[in-house]
Amino acid sequence: MTTLDLTPLWRSTVGFDRLLNLFDESVHWGGEANYPPYNIERTGEDEYRVSLALAGFNEDDITITAEQNVLRVEGRKSSKDNSHEFLYQGISARPFRRVFNLADYVQVKAASFANGLLKIELVREVPEAMKPCKIAIGTAGNDNRTIEHQSAA
């Protein structure tokens, strides 16, 4: 396995920290990054869903945190019920931390947990001021300055 040293890039760039962090995280992808399994779906033009398979967990064991451009899902199985002894335990309920980097203006809309699947609904809401707009050109002596907003691509 080859390793990639990003040190020269860190020294010669300013303002690209987030991009370099994403690149660095993708290079260090390992076996633990496979747990828990997840899907990312596009459910609409500006709507997405992240689904995580969390068999053995319940709602109280899961923490969802949304910060600026980062969605963090953490799980830790509570050890309240030790009244039985497993002869074989094939359902993994080990602690995990899954971090998703979100694009600009992507917000968490809702989260639900049913049948061992955690579903997190995301929506991209670009502010009106950031959307492209069409400006009509008026003729000389005419002050028609209508602006039409178009949907962002």
Instruction: Give 71-89 pLDDT, tens digit per residue.
Output: 999 999 877 666 778 888 8
Fold of the 35-78+88-125 domain: Immunoglobulin-like (2.60.40)
Average pLDDT score, the chain: 79
Q: What would the mean pLDDT of 6-20 be, rounded to a whole number?
A: 60
Q: What would the mean pLDDT of 32-40 be, rounded to a whole number?
A: 83
Percent of the chain with pLDDT over 70: 67
Name which of 2-6, 49-53, 90-94, 104-108 the model is least confident about. Answer: 2-6
Taking the C-alpha atoms of residue 91 and residue 58, their distance in angstroms, rounded to an integer, is: 13
Please, which residues have CB within 8 angstroms of residue 53's CB and are 6 or more apart in sequence?
Answer: 36, 37, 38, 116, 117
Domain ranges of the chain: 1-34, 35-78+88-125
Please, which residues have CB within 8 angstroms of residue 94's CB and are 6 or more apart in sequence?
Answer: 35, 77
pTM score, whole prediction: 0.66
